[in-house]
Amino acid sequence: MRGAPPATDTAPAAAGAVPRAGAPADDDDRSLAERASRDGEAFAQLYRRYVGAIYEFAYRRSRSRDLAEDVTSATFEKALGALERFEWRRGGFRAWIYRIAANELTDQFRRRQRDSTPRAQRTLQALGAGNEGALETVDARLDAETGRVMEALAALRPRYQEALSLRFLAGLSLAEAATALGCSRGTMAVVVHRALAGLRRELALQEVVA
């Protein structure tokens, strides 16, 4: 594909040198995105800027390096193919690329059944806490509990999966996540609330089945 950086560029992320997903983008994201569909170097700059964050996002959700690398590669391939239709909105390229990644993760989880692990309700509580330490708490607990939580997440409708992934795992603000989903902040807040309720039900159902 013209202009696409080599897949091996994700290697530093896999090795652990991954920028935080919330790192601020440079001011020229917009000009790069406007040129990237016809300028391979512009796309390469966007790739280098976001590949680590997208890998981290995928890895935090899956805890699988292979899956995270697959999702990262597919995300940028799809982004390159869709750049001609990209329109700059609030949240910019960052919100847009995260939504592509969230959709790709949803597709991957539909195809991969993960093993479940017990006692995931505490992770759900951390997801809904909304405080500054919530994401760090989720990080620590997902190491041991990812299977069950992600199985429950995969059972939700795609819009709910996207909302929770963008808001809590990607670390987007409410406004950025709303932009990525193409809705208002108020609607996004409602979607997140309903998604968390759905996730609670799925986890409770797993407890009954277990």
Give the chain as a 3 state SS string: CCCCCCHHHHHHHHCCCCCCCCCCCCCCHHHHHHHHCCCHHHHHHHHHHHHHHHHHHHHHHHCCHHHHHHHHHHHHHHHHHHHHHCCCCCCHHHHHHHHHHHHHHHHHHHHCCCCCCCCCHHHHHHHHHCCCCHHHHHHHHHHHHHHHHHHHHHCCCHHHHHHHHHHHHCCCCHHHHHHHHCCCHHHHHHHHHHHHHHHHHHHHHHHHHC
For residue 21, the model assigns a pLDDT of: 41
| pLDDT tens-digit map of 157-170 | 888 988 888 888 78
Nearest to 38 by CA among 89, 83, 5: 83
Do 94 and 187 fall into the same domain? Answer: no
Q: Does residue 99 sit in the same domain as residue 28?
A: yes
**pLDDT for res 198:** 92
Q: Please tell me the predicted confidence (pLDDT) of residue 142.
A: 52
The CATH number given to whatever domain includes residue 73 is 1.10.1740.10
Nearest Cα neighbor of 110 from 60, 154, 145 is 154
Of 66, 89, 112, the domain-final residue: 112
Check residue 147 and give its pLDDT. 67
Q: Which residues of the chain have pLDDT under 70?
A: 1-27, 109-147, 209-210
The domain total for the chain is 2
Determine the structural domain holding residue 158 and report its residue range. 116-210
What is the pLDDT, as a whole number, of residue 25?
47
pTM of the model: 0.62
Q: Is residue 24 part of a domain?
A: yes
Which pLDDT score, from 0 to 100, does residue 16 have? 37
Whole-number pLDDT of residue 131: 46
With respect to residue 3, please indicate whether it lies within any of the assigned structural domains: no
92 burial (CB, 10 Å; 0-12 / 13-18 / 19+) is middle
Contact criterion met (CB below 8 Å) for 64 and 111: no
